[in-house]
């Protein structure tokens, strides 16, 4: 139990630091300082930063799956799920303005590092992509469900990127409204 909980604490601290200051910029020492454990205890759980990265990605995937399941439970119709995705930009706007989107910024950083875990990080994008496509299919858009999913995922990424650069809340709200209007237009076409 104790070992499990220390491992989870390391992953949680690394998850947070990788998001706030980037993967390359976060050292073993940074993570150990947050968790307050000895070097020996740390190495007992993880031998390398790459191992921690894989555990962080797995934790993010699990967390995202729980969020998507919650959105499905709360939805009265398929479009509500897509609306929940769009409105995530508002719900998380404080963090997005400061640190960008956790999925997009990790994927971009690992691409530049040519890191072997980049495909793992992309699984987070793929999770949203297939989930959104499923709900566009449920709206009767089987033929272009994946294209619609990628479109709204890209719109969301772009808003997160400029929100991070310009810290502009009015911009986020305006773009969320445009994304919702776009969704209404697609529903009408269905």
Contacts to a second copy by CB under 8 A: 20-22, 24-25, 98-100, 104-105, 107-109, 111-114, 122, 125, 147, 150-151, 153-159, 161-162, 164-166, 168, 171, 174-175, 178
Closer Cβ to a second copy, 28 or 99, answer by number: 99
**What's the min distance (Å) between Cβ of 88 and a second copy?**
14
**What's the min distance (Å) between Cβ of 54 and a second copy?**
18
Distance between CA 71 and CA 81 in Å, rounded? 6
**What's the min distance (Å) between Cβ of 145 and a second copy?**
14
Closer Cβ to a second copy, 37 or 145, answer by number: 145
**In contact, 13 and 31? CB cutoff 8 Å:** yes
Closer Cβ to a second copy, 140 or 158, answer by number: 158
Tally the C-alpha atoms within 13 A of residue 136's C-alpha that lie toward its C-beta.
26
Phi then psi for residue 48, to 5 deg, are -150, 160
**What's the min distance (Å) between Cβ of 185 and a second copy?**
11
**In contact, 156 and 89? CB cutoff 8 Å:** yes
Closer Cβ to a second copy, 78 or 100, answer by number: 100
Closer Cβ to a second copy, 68 or 110, answer by number: 110
C-alpha dihedral sign at 74, 136, 129, 103:
negative
**What's the min distance (Å) between Cβ of 76 and a second copy?**
28
Q: Is 36 left (phi over 0), alpha (psi -120 to 50) or beta?
A: left
**In contact, 19 and 102? CB cutoff 8 Å:** yes
Q: What is the dihedral of CA 10, 12, 13, 16, to 10 degrees?
A: 150
């Amino acid at each position: 139990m104790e070992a499990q909980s220390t491992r989870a604490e390391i992953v949680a601290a690394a998850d947070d630091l990788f998001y706030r200051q980037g993967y390359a910029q976060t050292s073993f020492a940074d993570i150990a300082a947050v968790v307050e454990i000895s070097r020996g205890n740390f190495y007992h759980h993880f031998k390398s930063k790459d191992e921690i990265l894989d555990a962080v990605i797995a934790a993010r995937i699990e967390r995202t799956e729980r969020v998507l399941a919650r959105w499905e439970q709360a939805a009265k119709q398929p479009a509500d799920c897509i609306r929940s995705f769009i409105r995530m930009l508002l719900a998380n706007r404080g963090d997005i303005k400061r640190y960008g989107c956790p999925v997009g910024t990790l994927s971009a950083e690992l691409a530049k590092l040519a890191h072997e875990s980049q495909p793992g990080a992309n699984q987070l994008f793929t999770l949203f992509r297939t989930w959104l496509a499923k709900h566009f299919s449920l709206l009767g858009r089987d033929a272009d469900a994946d294209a619609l999913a990628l479109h709204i995922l890209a719109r969301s990424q772009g808003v997160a990127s400029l929100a991070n650069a310009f810290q502009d809340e009015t911009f986020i709200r305006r773009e969320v409204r445009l994304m919702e209007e776009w969704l209404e237009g697609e529903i009408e076409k269905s």
